[in-house]
Structure 1
Amino acid sequence: MKWLLVLIYACTSYAEDYVFPPNFQFGVATASYQVEGGWNASGKGENIWDVLTHNRPELIYDQSNGDIACDTYNKAITDVQLLKSLGVDFYRFSFSWSRILPVGTSNKINPDGIRYYNELIDELLKNGIKPFATMFHWDLPQPLQEIGGWPNPVVADLFVDYANVLFEHFGDRVKDWITFNEPAVFCGGGYEDGSKAPAYKGNGFGVYLCAHTVLRAHGKAYRLYESKYKASQGGRVGITLDTYWFEPSSDKPEDIEAGEITIQMNFGWFAHPIYSKEGDYPSVMKERIAEKSSTEGFPRSRLPEFTPEEIEEIRGSSDFFGLNHYTTNKCTPLPAGWGIPPSQWTDIGTMCYYETNWEIGASSWLAVVPWGFRKLLVWIKNEYNNPEVIITENGFSDKGELNDCRRINYYNTYLEELLKAIHEDGCNISGYTAWSFLDNFEWMRGFTEKFGVIYVDFDDPDRSRTPKMSYYVYKNILATKRVDWKFTPDSFNECEF
């Protein structure tokens, strides 16, 4: 029996024995409004977050704003040295549309915005770090919001004009592009439930109009690059979509169906038009919203329809699958008669929740459920024919501890599940991005929740930076291409896992 146990142990693969493939890329991420500051510096125009935080500060948990934030507008060059020391392959940042185009339209380009991003990109490349650029991370120019924002279909064309400016000025050096970050979040929060700028409540209309414009804008920007720039610049363009994993609350058929409906109508909503063979919105989404709209007395579905030409333009419009993932929910059907329609959630018709024994971060929505990460990656593989996936965000919030053992536990357990997805499930995953490089302005939660591997002292006018324990643990993962639970950086207390 003793020898049998030894043999079983020797023949068993453990996640800690797995290594990341040789060509696997690691990075960290930030977003312009969350870190840059310089909100009105040198010709920059106002965006919807400037307006929201200045005019309605009561909506922000600590009444703070991103006027200064981490001050990367003035510290970008020195921050690159922290990135270099960390050992990342790439740095994912976002352009501020209003810093490039102060009124949102391409007839007025701000020279200082071009200068700022040129200096950042050049400094990254000089230090051997690839720029991984997001065009839009939630900070719409305010003049475009005043004509209706994303629910206005004209904004799709204005976004393509903006994308063209970015390709023209930076595409000779930026080879990895993301059009949009998490459209489900900024459409849902901005135009459905009011939880993000511009904080409108759209009653089951605005959220779908926003998404429809965004998908059209993405498809058009991709085809612009494909036809005008790809041959000469040799880059690639994708999009970043976010989702929870939605686990059925039981093995009952109705709960299994609830989990699938929820992921299709939250994630497939954007993924299906781009990555599926047939394109367009998921059939379950079209059917449910049409049925709900009819019972509510509307003459047509609240979900807009793509033309056949738009379906073709959007289908296949991505060179990789950008994925943001943090947590998992369990789902079951909504009780009959629950909720006030019309709304996105009554359209979906499910109720999702956390198990009470799951660990929760400083963000009330962030439960630590690493096994859900692997299940999601396998679902994407099976649903969309195993596309190349780049994890463009994954991370954990706390209150800013330097000895951030809970963040280290999160990274280690989630990266182990990612390794299992690669080695055991055959998922095509080529990169991982930790959110976030710096503690930053966390949207409606202000500075009360911290995601960074670097602590930023927001009480210090100089916004001093201090690497946390997780910075050094992540650095070790990047250097060794493996998860090492035993690694403890010098001058830090050992974590108890």
Structure 2
Amino acid sequence: MAFGHSQLLSGAAILLQMAQMAYAQQVYVRWNGTSPRPSCRGCDMPATPTYKFSTFAFTQTETYRYATSVAPATTTKTYARPYSALSSLMPSLTSTTWGNWSPNDTAATDTADPYGQAAWSSLWEWASPTNFTTTGIYSTTVSPTPLPSSELVHPPKDYFGPTDCYNFPDDFIFGVAGSAAQIEGAIAREGKGPNLMDVLARPGQANNYVTNENYFLYKQDIERLASLGVKYYSFSIAWSRILPFAQPGTPVNKAGIDHYEDLINFVLSKGMIPTVTMLHFDTPLQFFAANVSAKWDDVAIGYTNGAYQNSTFEEAFVHYGKILLTHYADRVPIWFTFNEPLLYSDNGASINTVVKSHARLAHFYKDVIKGTGKIGLKLNDNFGVPRNPQNASDLAAAKHFNAFQLDTFWNPLVLGIDYPDAFKKTVPDYVALNSTDLAYMKDTCDFVAVDPYTATVVSQPPGGIDACTSNSSSPYFPYCVVQNTNNTFDWNIGYRSYSYVYITPEYLRTYINYLWNTFRKPVFITEFGFPVFGEADKATREDQLFDSPRSQYYLSFMTEILKSIWEDGVNVMGALAWSFADNWEFGDYDARFGLQVVDRDTQTKWFKKSFFDLVGFVKDRHPNYEST
């Protein structure tokens, strides 16, 4: 049903009350004396120890543990009808194949074909990627090989570890994530067209032309994940690999369709479960028209222009999404339409495109193809916590900061109510939503998915929030709060690493509580990860592999998730770790978020200690892990 004016006011009042309840968790309470030790309850120790001599011998024993592989699949569950039964729902699709491109290639001669090899090659000539190279080790799909048992021995444990006694629910999802532009390489191979990520790196930055060569190594990568015991693999599909010419009515790249078909089938054959993101920042370059440089110029909201505001984007994206759903929805149970769309939105029209195209694809999935899985989109927000939680001004700043990033999307797509004031007064060119829009959008997300790497301490900017929202030249625009990494006592809120990242497990629990009580949908943590400080500079691989700070990050976050579930009553649907291997972090290979080290000369990978620790933590607390 449509929300009337009075219902909108009532809904807003309820949301405010919920938000205040969530923020009330985050308070400073003075505490003196010794630290409590819950694990020591019930211990009856004498006041004085007894000293004695004994015969010395090297009698200590060391235990070791092997990682347990996921059991190969014996059956495959389906979530929709196969493509053969759904193809009639799509307009007539033509498919073709193209070759490869290099600046030194001989020009193709089929110039009369608007979508032939010459036309496809001209896309890359127009894109003119900087310092383009096709140098890589592989040119065809590599067959997987089993891992030797020596690679699956757990490393020594850290002395201090989790002391919780909770288990994950039977249906809790655990897995790892990656994205096409950051791992695939092969960017001008087998018909893939140019996209934003292919030209993002500026001179002096590393490019993604080769990166992890996952396009050819995906079977070996999946073999490694299955061998370690990972159940869910989350990846993105490159739009320009499916539709090199981007728009409806243009040919589908058969090589791209076949590649992801084989990838999904191989994931399933290994006993794992795939989840798919339709767009992870890699907008096809055609949406920038003649002004390719516009991706960096004067972006009003995010830090890069993803061209969502292009007048043809919505129809093209929905068409692309329908191709994916009709081809793969029978085997993929979880879909994400957009990854962190705020960061690549330029203006109000961009947001309008995102919410409307997402809603259309959700309705297509649920109402037309009758998909029985889940669909949503994943948002960025390093959760804003007030610098002083007992200060009303700081509380208002935190509410504004989070509403701008989260409520802007989930107000209409989850609750069916209007955009928050934080968005409307900051982006005056927003496209208004009417009651029909809101009724159509409501409940088109089956979950609220976030990528909560850390937390941000916020307070009011000079002159206040309202003065900033009307001044796009303000250094605090568009979030219009002061963002810090230290609390009111000037302590950093956690261990600092590369750039902004801190270990902030307690704030994660506050965040999860806020999401659950505000939007009342299952919470899905779709990316979280940690780059150990200076890891790229470590002299030996052994030092990179023994990454205890990353283990501390993951295990503390997972412990807080358990507390959220059992102590706060929050439905946390699952968690996907970022990333399964060191990769291209948008112009940089030194920001090491990976759970595996990658040798860039040989593409050899090694499991880091944190990978064993994380998977072991989940398996030890997930009695029915193999059957989820």
Quickly name the TM-score band, shorter chain normalised: 0.7 to 0.9
Letter in 1 for 2:190: S
Give TM-score, length-normalised by structure 2. 0.66
Does residue 9 in structure 1 map to residue 41 in structure 2?
Answer: yes
Check the 8 A contact 2:333/2:374 in 1, yes or no. yes
Task: Name the structure 2 match of 1:490.
Answer: none
Does residue 261 in structure 1 map to residue 419 in structure 2?
Answer: no
- Tell me which of 107, 116, 121 is aligned to 2:259: 116
Q: Which runs of 4+ in 1 moved over 6 A?
A: 5-8, 337-340
Three-state SS of the structure 2 residue aligned to 1:431 is: strand
* Distance (whole Å) between structure 2 residues aligned to residue 442 and residue 307 of structure 1: 39
Check the 8 A contact 1:280/1:315 in 2, yes or no. no
Does residue 363 in structure 1 map to residue 505 in structure 2?
Answer: no
- CA 1:174–1:32 in 2, change beyond 3 Å: closer, same or farther? same
Gaps of 5+ in 1: 188-205, 291-300, 483-497
Task: Name the structure 1 match of 2:330.
Answer: 172
Check the 8 A contact 2:181/2:238 in 1, yes or no. yes
- CA 1:18–1:147 in 2, change beyond 3 Å: closer, same or farther? farther
Task: Name the structure 2 match of 1:440.
Answer: 583
Task: Name the structure 2 match of 1:393.
Answer: 527
- CA 1:79–1:223 in 2, change beyond 3 Å: closer, same or farther? same
| Alpha-carbon distance, 1:147 to partner | 7.5
| Alpha-carbon distance, 1:155 to partner | 0.6
| Alpha-carbon distance, 1:51 to partner | 2.0
| Alpha-carbon distance, 1:381 to partner | 1.5
Q: Give the structure with the higher percent helix.
A: 1
Three-state SS of the structure 1 residue aligned to 2:569 is: coil
Task: Name the structure 2 match of 1:211.
Answer: 351
- Tell me which of 84, 89, 101 is aligned to 2:226: 84
| Alpha-carbon distance, 1:284 to partner | 4.3
Check the 8 A contact 2:185/2:214 in 1, yes or no. yes
| Alpha-carbon distance, 1:8 to partner | 9.1
| Alpha-carbon distance, 1:472 to partner | 1.1
Check the 8 A contact 2:386/2:394 in 1, yes or no. yes
Task: Name the structure 2 match of 1:228.
Answer: 368
Task: Name the structure 2 match of 1:248.
Answer: 386
Larger CA Rg, structure 1 vs 2: 2
Letter in 2 for 1:57: P
Three-state SS of the structure 2 residue aligned to 1:102 is: coil
Task: Name the structure 1 match of 2:411.
Answer: 272
Check the 8 A contact 2:496/2:502 in 1, yes or no. yes
Check the 8 A contact 2:386/2:459 in 1, yes or no. yes
- CA 1:156–1:360 in 2, change beyond 3 Å: closer, same or farther? farther
**Pairing 1:261-340 to 2, within 5 Å after superposition:** 261-276=400-415, 278-286=416-424, 288-289=425-426, 301-336=428-463
Task: Name the structure 1 match of 2:175.
Answer: 27
* Distance (whole Å) between structure 1 residues aligned to residue 479 and residue 193 of structure 2: 37
Aligned residues: 435
Letter in 2 for 1:392: T
Letter in 1 for 2:224: L
- CA 1:69–1:8 in 2, change beyond 3 Å: closer, same or farther? closer
Letter in 1 for 2:401: T
Three-state SS of the structure 2 residue aligned to 1:17 is: coil
Three-state SS of the structure 1 residue aligned to 2:369 is: helix
Three-state SS of the structure 2 residue aligned to 1:432 is: strand
- CA 1:266–1:10 in 2, change beyond 3 Å: closer, same or farther? farther
**Pairing 1:179-190 to 2, within 5 Å after superposition:** 179-187=337-345
- Tell me which of 581, 594, 603 is aligned to 1:463: 603
Three-state SS of the structure 2 residue aligned to 1:421 is: helix
Deviations 1:133-152 (A, max 9, x none): 01010000001222882112
* Distance (whole Å) between structure 1 residues aligned to residue 410 and residue 257 of structure 2: 32
Does residue 472 in structure 1 map to residue 574 in structure 2?
Answer: no
Deviations 1:222-269 (A, max 9, x none): 111122212xx4322111112112111111111111111111112212
Give TM-score, length-normalised by structure 1. 0.83
Letter in 2 for 1:414: F
Does residue 375 in structure 1 map to residue 505 in structure 2?
Answer: no
Task: Name the structure 2 match of 1:489.
Answer: none
Deviations 1:411-460 (A, max 9, x none): 0111111111101000001211111101000014x1011111111111x1
Check the 8 A contact 1:245/1:376 in 2, yes or no. yes
**Pairing 1:335-350 to 2, within 5 Å after superposition:** 335-336=462-463, 341-342=471-472, 345-346=476-477, 348-350=479-481
* Distance (whole Å) between structure 2 residues aligned to residue 428 and residue 64 of structure 1: 40
Task: Name the structure 1 match of 2:570.
Answer: 427
Letter in 2 for 1:242: N
Three-state SS of the structure 2 residue aligned to 1:179 is: strand
* Distance (whole Å) between structure 1 residues aligned to residue 173 and residue 42 of structure 2: 30
Task: Name the structure 2 match of 1:199.
Answer: none
Q: CA RMSD in A?
A: 2.4
Three-state SS of the structure 2 residue aligned to 1:64 is: coil
Check the 8 A contact 1:289/1:302 in 2, yes or no. no
* Distance (whole Å) between structure 1 residues aligned to residue 604 and residue 523 of structure 2: 35
* Distance (whole Å) between structure 1 residues aligned to residue 573 and residue 456 of structure 2: 26
Gaps of 5+ in 2: 1-36, 44-161, 292-306, 537-543, 623-628
Percent identity over the alignment? 30
Task: Name the structure 1 match of 2:299.
Answer: none
Task: Name the structure 2 match of 1:486.
Answer: none
- Tell me which of 433, 440, 454 is aligned to 2:596: 454
Task: Name the structure 2 match of 1:195.
Answer: none
Letter in 1 for 2:434: T
- CA 1:10–1:305 in 2, change beyond 3 Å: closer, same or farther? farther
Letter in 1 for 2:246: G
- CA 1:241–1:6 in 2, change beyond 3 Å: closer, same or farther? closer
Check the 8 A contact 2:336/2:378 in 1, yes or no. yes
Deviations 1:320-375 (A, max 9, x none): 22221111111111002887922694354311110153444543111211111000
| Alpha-carbon distance, 1:108 to partner | 1.4
* Distance (whole Å) between structure 1 residues aligned to residue 590 and residue 316 of structure 2: 35
Letter in 2 for 1:312: A
Letter in 1 for 2:513: V
Letter in 2 for 1:222: A
- Tell me which of 155, 159, 166 is aligned to 2:313: 155
**Pairing 1:45-124 to 2, within 5 Å after superposition:** 45-53=193-201, 56-58=202-204, 63-106=205-248, 107-124=250-267
